Structure 1
Amino acid sequence: MGGAALFLLAAALLCISGASDDLRQSDVAVVLGNAVSRDGSPSPRLAARLDAAVTVWVDRRVGAIIVSGGVDRNGTDEAAAMRRYLVARRVPDAAIVVDPKGATTWETARNTAAIMRARNWRTVMVISQYFHIPRTRLALARFGVEDARSAHPAYLESRDLYSIAREVIGYPAYWFRDPTA
């Protein structure tokens, strides 16, 4: 019973933390990838993330947007699909940095930290589902990015219950993961 209570408490804390947006001005936003259809259109979950990125861009809260994703087994490039979606919504192509090697949250954090160092950016706004933001911010910190703000889309689905449970396990795993390995 105590284990279940601890698990639920951890889940609640992760959700509250991730749902507490920090919309202060940031050098760049990073949008974490998600499923893309075979026709190249983002899944509803990914489209919601991208719409949140468009909002912070239009509101001039970020100066650029990193789109980070991998290539799935069908050869669909998440990051390229994300770039197309943003450009179609009038985000200038020059303001978009494509990270095609962000297949996992860890890889996205590593790549984002490298991009930020190369461009002398200090602040990042993480855009993902509310439950995913704490682990992403932790991963960024493990790679030296200490100032990570956040924005989450207002998109909920039943699958979130599974995802929240996964984050309760994933967060401590990232806490102990060695960024040099």
Structure 2
Amino acid sequence: MREGERLNFVFIKRFLILVASLFIWFIIHTTFVIIDGLNDELKPVDVAVVLGNKVEVNGQPSERLKARLDKSVELYDGGYFPFIIVSGGIGKEGFDEAKVMKSYLIDKGIPKEKIKKDNNGYNSYMTAQNTSKIMDKLESDSVMVITQYFHVSRIKLAFRKMEIKEVYSAHAKIFEFRDIYSIIREFPAYYKYLFK
């Protein structure tokens, strides 16, 4: 084998080993994320935070967002927390997600004074930052995050970066075909937050 061919072979071999290693790590990480997200940590906490999602053009929460909100109603009624923070921004449809979420919860019987709005939760990290400030005002130490199962690990990481020690989670009871894309996206997103 010529020197050039040998170097080419070594390069290809190392490249394939790297690709295989990354794929194995992706599988391990994704398995952990799914298991973590599907195993709710239901403990009494000071406050819950529901992460925003799409509001439909008719002004109603999307099915994903309804599932998150319905989970918060179920757990509020179960006595797990006295306050709910609804966190979202202005979506491309032009609606204030937090405002729509609050209205939905009020319609479900949650007293309006028990709902706190975060209108600047444009991403998970901003939600964690804003929730931390609201929790300081409420003199709260523990939080339960309510979102899609694939999102739980990353949002808990974001909250711990805000030095909130007691972070628990519950997942919305909805599964969609688009979860495949979301699960894949969570892999780089988690490490972006980890090294932020």
Q: What fraction of aligned residue pairs are identical, expressed as a percent?
A: 41
CA distance in 1, matches of 2:124, 2:64: 16
Unaligned segments of structure 1, at least 5 residues: none
Structure 2 partner of 1:37:
56
CA distance in 2, matches of 1:71, 1:158: 25
CA distance in 2, matches of 1:53, 1:90: 12
Structure 2 partner of 1:77:
96
**Does the 8 A contact of 2:56 with 2:93 survive in 1?**
no
SS across alignment from 1:116? helix
CA distance in 1, matches of 2:172, 2:57: 23
Q: In the alignment, does 2:169 pair up with 1:150?
A: yes
Q: In the alignment, does 2:121 pair up with 1:96?
A: no
Q: In the alignment, does 2:190 pair up with 1:175?
A: no
Aligned residues: 177
Which of 57, 61, 68 pairs up with 2:76? Answer: 57
SS across alignment from 2:41? coil
So what's the TM-score if we normalise by structure 2?
A: 0.88
| Post-superposition offset of 1:2 | 2.5
Structure 2 partner of 1:111:
130
How large is the RMSD of aligned CA atoms in angstroms?
A: 0.8
- Consecutive aligned runs of 4 or more in structure 1 exceeding 4 Å deviation: none
Which of 144, 151, 169 pairs up with 1:132? Answer: 151
| Post-superposition offset of 1:18 | 1.4
| Post-superposition offset of 1:161 | 0.7
CA distance in 2, matches of 1:73, 1:56: 30
Q: Which has the larger radius of gyration?
A: 2
So what's the TM-score if we normalise by structure 1?
A: 0.95
Unaligned segments of structure 2, at least 5 residues: 1-19
**Does the 8 A contact of 2:33 with 2:150 survive in 1?**
yes
